[in-house]
């Protein structure tokens, strides 16, 4: 069984490396797009290019955060997500980045729609609404999960001990 768990850790490590590579590629693409927009002059097209670069950077942040979360949770800590504390912490790390990236993408879509095609504002608004619903659902989850954590105080103590592996 230990050999199988080691294989899973290796696979998780490979996935984390791939997410990090994707983040680096997005950063390079965003830098190139931003620089080209900046070099083209100070006009609306340049502003739109910079806004698009920001959207790419938001996606890069998500990919990099996923890589870090996978590395810390599955490779370094070798934690198995079963206790309420571990589930809350894992989902919170992931969802904070997803919500921020969705909001940034919604703002990028809003700017793009406002300047290019106002009919697309409905889609931009739906992205922002979805981010709000996700944030509200996450808040409810944390509130309900807190009660479960109170039933298992040893799980919180174990999660804190696992955190020592990262220091």
The secondary structure of 102-157 as a DSSP string is HHHHHHHHHHHHHHT-GGGHHHHHHHHHHHHHHHHHHHHHHHHHHHHHHH-HHHHH
pTM of the model: 0.75
115 neighbors 108 (Cβ within 8 angstroms): no
Q: Is 148 left (phi over 0), alpha (psi -120 to 50) or beta?
A: alpha
Kindly list the domain boundaries of the chain, sorted by start residue. Answer: 2-166
Summarised one tens digit per residue, pLDDT across range 81-92 is 566 777 777 788
Q: What share of the chain is helix, strand, coil (3-state, %, to 5)?
A: 90, 0, 10
Please state the rounded mean pLDDT for residues 49-70. 91
Residue 91: predicted pLDDT: 82
Sign of CA dihedral 136, 95, 30, 26: negative
| pLDDT at residue 26, as a whole number | 97
Q: What integer is the mean pLDDT of 110-130?
A: 91
How far, in Å, CA of 97 to CA of 23, rounded?
13
């Amino acid at each position: 069984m230990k050999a199988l768990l080691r294989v899973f850790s290796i696979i998780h490590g490979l996935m984390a490396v791939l997410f990090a590579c994707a983040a680096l590629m997005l950063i390079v693409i965003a830098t190139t797009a931003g620089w080209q927009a900046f070099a083209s002059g100070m006009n609306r097209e340049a502003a739109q290019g910079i806004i698009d670069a920001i959207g790419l950077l938001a996606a890069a942040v998500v990919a990099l955060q996923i890589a870090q979360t996978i590395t810390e949770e599955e490779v370094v800590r070798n934690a198995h997500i079963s206790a309420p504390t571990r589930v809350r912490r894992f989902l919170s790390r992931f969802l904070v980045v997803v919500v921020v990236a969705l909001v940034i993408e919604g703002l990028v879509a809003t700017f793009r729609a406002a300047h290019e095609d106002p009919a697309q504002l409905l889609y931009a608004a739906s992205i922002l609404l979805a981010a709000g619903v996700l944030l509200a659902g996450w808040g409810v989850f944390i509130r309900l999960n807190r009660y479960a954590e109170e039933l298992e105080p040893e799980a919180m103590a174990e999660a804190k001990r696992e955190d020592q592996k990262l220091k």
